[in-house]
Amino acid sequence: MNIFTTDFFFSIIRIATPILFATLAAVIGEKGGISNIGLEGIMMMSALFGSLGAYWSGNWFVGLLLAMAVGLAEALLMGFFAFNLKTDIILTGTAINMIGSGGTLFLVKIITGGASTTNLITKSLQIPSINIPGLKSIPVIGAVLSGHSLLTYLGFLFVFLTWVLLYKTPLGLNIRSVGENANAASSVGVSVMRIRYITIGIGGVLAGMGGAFMSMYYAMGWSQDMVAGRGFIALAAQSMGNGEPLGGMLAALVFGFAQALGIKVSATGVDSNLVAPIPYIVTILALVIFALNQRRKEKKRYATALK
């Protein structure tokens, strides 16, 4: 059986999209010195409100905006606890994840009057797919790259924009300087608090878009724990990508590949319980390989320095 069809490569990109959004959020966060493990919870909450917003308004765009707004609000709430009340950022993230796991189910039950999922997204409320005219007609490449969700294209555009933001704008410089040494940044007049809020806020909006993708394109509605660790995988992708947007994107694609492969294998009748853990195992292995590689490079550098 040939599994490496154009469909397969198409699915890698589709599966990588939500991870990519969360990875970019993690990349910007880490550059600013913030380890945001709450991305998972933010994605859950945004996924919920994205689907609800689209359903209430009858318009996918409103749903997407609501998902982004909810992501921003949760990120700022995290910021308030972490920066103003000096709660450990990891614990803050853990609390957001608790709310994202159980709290979302609570809200769904209240809002829908007892249901535990929302199958609210119909074809017309789904985030639209886009066929790119010229690209579409190219054989093979067209079938892989064309016809994705609007958010997928935005996600890959954001890889570039994130790089521009971090390296070509004054705000990016401030974010990096606060991440590198907050005291030094503060001493030259940068408002550390403001930059931190902006950093975590951008991450929240990005994670919100990833959440919207989950409930408004990947699946047709919200269900409990649907994000299934993608927010955590994004943290791994961030560190494997060496903290850079482009590297993070490649790492997200690796996870997309692992999961797409899993789906293919389970289609042959293998127990899905054996296939489902693949992305998580790949994450651990990838982190190890990355760390070993990193260590080897360092040793080499010392060796040449000593010569």
Partner 1 sequence: MSKKNSIKFTLIRGIAALAIALLVAFILIFVSAAGENFGEKLSNSIAALREMLVSPLFKKNGSFSSRNLSVVLAGTIPIMFTGLATCIMFSANQFNLGAEGGIMLGAFVTALVAVYWKLPGPLLMVVAVLAGGIAVALVMLIPAVLKAKLGVSEMVNSLMLNYVIMYLIGFLMNSYLADTSKGITQTYPFQENAMIPQLVENGSRLSWGFVVGLIIVVLCWFFMYRTKWGYGIRMTGLNQPFVMYSGMNVALIVILAQVLGGFLAGFGGGIEMLGRYNVYNWKALPGYGWTGITVAILAGNNPIYVPLAALFMSYLTQGCSLMSTNANVPAQMISIIQAVIFLLFAAKQFLAGYRQKLVVRSAQEERAALEKGGNK
Q: Sketch the per residue contact string, 84 through 103, with partner 1: x for CB under 8 A, - otherwise.
A: xxxxx-xxx-xxx-xx-xxx
- Residue 269 found at the interface with partner 1 (CB under 8 A): no
By beta-carbon proximity to partner 1, the closer residue of 58 and 102 is 102
- Residue 300 found at the interface with partner 1 (CB under 8 A): no
- Residue 161 found at the interface with partner 1 (CB under 8 A): no
Going by the DSSP 8-state scheme, the letter that residue 82 receives in this structure is I
- Residue 268 found at the interface with partner 1 (CB under 8 A): no
C-alpha to C-alpha distance for 15 and 156, rounded to whole angstroms = 13
C-alpha to C-alpha distance for 71 and 33, rounded to whole angstroms = 19
CA atoms within 13 A of residue 36's CA, in its CB half-sphere: 42
Instruction: Out of 194, 295, 296, 299, name the contact with partner 1 by CB under 8 A.
Output: 295
Instruction: Out of 3, 138, 164, 292, name the contact with partner 1 by CB under 8 A.
Output: 292
Contacts with partner 1 by CB under 8 A: the residue count is: 43
Reference 101, options 179, 45, 157; nearest CA is 45
- Residue 297 found at the interface with partner 1 (CB under 8 A): no
- Residue 115 found at the interface with partner 1 (CB under 8 A): no
Task: Classify the C-alpha dihedral 217-218-224-226 as positive or negative.
Answer: negative
Strand partners of residue 128:
none
- Residue 44 found at the interface with partner 1 (CB under 8 A): no
- Residue 6 found at the interface with partner 1 (CB under 8 A): no
Chain mean position to CA 62 = 20
State the nearest-atom distance from the C-beta of 276 to partner 1, in Å: 5
Tokens 């394109």, residue? Answer: 217
By beta-carbon proximity to partner 1, the closer residue of 157 and 284 is 284
User: DSSP letters of 157-215?
Assistant: HHHHHHHHHHHHSHHHHHHHHHHH-HHHHHHTT--HHHHHHHHHHHHHHHHHHHHHHII
Helix, strand, coil content of the chain in percent (nearest 5): 75, 5, 20
Q: Which range binds partner 1 by CB under 8 A, 17-25, 119-127, 155-163, 231-239?
A: 231-239
User: DSSP letters of 98-162?
Assistant: HIIIIIHHHHHHHHHTS-SEE----GGGSPPEE--HHHHTSTTHHHHHSSEEHHHHHHHHHHHHH
State the nearest-atom distance from the C-beta of 238 to partner 1, in Å: 9
Beta-carbon contacts of 292 under 8 Å, excluding residues fewer than 6 positions away, are: none
State the nearest-atom distance from the C-beta of 172 to partner 1, in Å: 25
Instruction: Out of 109, 168, 299, 300, name the contact with partner 1 by CB under 8 A.
Output: 109
Instruction: Out of 9, 60, 217, 232, name the contact with partner 1 by CB under 8 A.
Output: 232
- Residue 255 found at the interface with partner 1 (CB under 8 A): no
Report the chain's C-alpha Rg in angstroms: 20
- Residue 194 found at the interface with partner 1 (CB under 8 A): no
By beta-carbon proximity to partner 1, the closer residue of 125 and 233 is 233
By beta-carbon proximity to partner 1, the closer residue of 11 and 97 is 97
Instruction: Out of 271, 303, 304, 306, name the contact with partner 1 by CB under 8 A.
Output: 271
Q: Which residues bind partner 1 (CB under 8 A)?
A: 37, 81, 84-88, 90-92, 94-96, 98-99, 101-103, 105-106, 109-110, 228-229, 232-233, 235-236, 239, 271, 273-274, 276-277, 280-281, 283-284, 287-288, 291-292, 295
